[in-house]
Amino acid sequence: MNFRSYSDLISLVRRSMWQLPHDIELIVHVPRSGIIPAAQIALQRNLPIISLDEFIAGAGDAARFSARERQHANTGKGRVLIVDDSVGDGGALARVRAALSERPDDGRSVSFLAVYWSGVEVEGLDYWFEKVPRPRLFEWNALHHEGLSNFCVDIDGVLCRDPTRAENDDGPSYARFLHDADMLVNPTHEIGWLISNRLERYRPQTEDWLARHGIRYRELILLDGVSAETRRKAGAHGWFKGRVYRELPAEIFIESEPFQARDIAQIAVKPVLCTENWSLYRPDMNRFDQHAIHARGLLHRAGRALRRRLGR
């Protein structure tokens, strides 16, 4: 599995932007995944930016832009750059080109940029910054990926926030957390397997929360046969998830906690994506790489704790 984070994306665009032509006068982003790289290019080049839908509807009119932006827009000499995050087999790009055929020709040339290219020959792709072959996964679409039905996903810390120490009392406070937990992300597609260290006796509350938030899944696997106290004393959270993941045909596990992600990858001998530091843990990862990833995770966690203490 090839993985790229937001940090990878931003760094790549920044150092590769020189490859783009200098006569661009308008940036158009393909919703939604093209927004971030398109905005970065527009800011660096000091160019106007609009969505693909706006562009097709004729919103490239200079009247939409500020006085400074009008110096660039609709000069009739430059080009329009349409930006997306990636291109695979070219199907999405073909649909964009078909949609553009409905727009009246204003004399400007149109070029297409995909930051990441799969390596498959694609007609109509003018620029790309990095070849990332399939299978691949990006931070911004990890939980909206069309292959989600073949993923294992944790619940606490991924779909909803983790309980606080006070909430995790295995009593009334935990019951309130299970009912009222704040959702962090709403996946687009059905998840293959939800695997959690929540106890089996909390299945009704967990299923209720998932149903109320419209989260679809094929199977919910919870920890059975132990108490919350036994689970905490054993400290083997990653062991349970790794053992279950190993026996499933899933291709990746999405986990929130770095140390659990490491353990799951080692036990299952399959990759694990950690959402706390947005790093991909692999079973063949050496200790230096593991320590570097953990250090970033600890710094992130310390910063988050400090912001909470300061009320930010």
pLDDT, residue 102, reads 82
Percent of the chain scoring above 70 in pLDDT: 81
298-311 CB burial, b ≥16 within 10 A, e <16: eeeeeeeeeeeeee
Render pLDDT for 119-131 as a digit per residue (tens, 0 to 9).
Answer: 999 999 999 999 9
pLDDT, residue 63, reads 36
For residue 307, is the peptide bond before it cis, meaning its omega torsion is within 30 degrees of 0? no
Question: From CA 289, how far away is CA 281, in angstroms rounded?
Answer: 9
Mean pLDDT within 170-182 = 97
pLDDT, residue 105, reads 80
Q: Is the pLDDT of residue 289 over 80?
A: no
- How many residues belong to the chain? 312
pLDDT, residue 298, reads 60
Mean pLDDT within 247-275 = 97
Reported as a pLDDT band with limits 50, 70 and 90, residue 230 is: low
Task: Enter the tokens of residue 139.
Answer: 């931070």
pLDDT, residue 153, reads 98
Helix/strand/coil for 171: coil
pLDDT, residue 64, reads 45
Range with the lowest mean pLDDT among 63-77, 85-99, 103-117, 171-185? 63-77
Mean pLDDT within 25-46 = 96
| Mean pLDDT (the chain, rounded) | 88
Question: Who wins on pLDDT, 64 or 50?
Answer: 50
Mean pLDDT within 292-307 = 60
For 145-159, the DSSP string reads -TTGGGEEE-SBTTT
pLDDT, residue 149, reads 97
Mean pLDDT within 176-196 = 97
Are residues 48 and 72 in contact, defined by beta-carbon separation less than 8 angstroms? yes
Range with the lowest mean pLDDT among 16-30, 81-95, 226-240? 226-240
Q: pTM of the prediction?
A: 0.83
Q: Is the pLDDT of residue 188 over 60?
A: yes
Are residues 26 and 73 in contact, defined by beta-carbon separation less than 8 angstroms? yes
pLDDT, residue 237, reads 80
Q: Could you tell me the strand order of the sheet in which 279-281 lies? A: 217-223, 191-199, 151-153, 252-255, 272-274, 279-281
HSE (side-chain half, CA atoms, 13 Å) at 19: 15
State the CB neighbour count (10 A cutoff) for residue 6: 12
Are residues 240 and 220 in contact, defined by beta-carbon separation less than 8 angstroms? no
pLDDT, residue 60, reads 55
Helix/strand/coil for 278: coil
Q: Is the pLDDT of residue 266 over 60?
A: yes
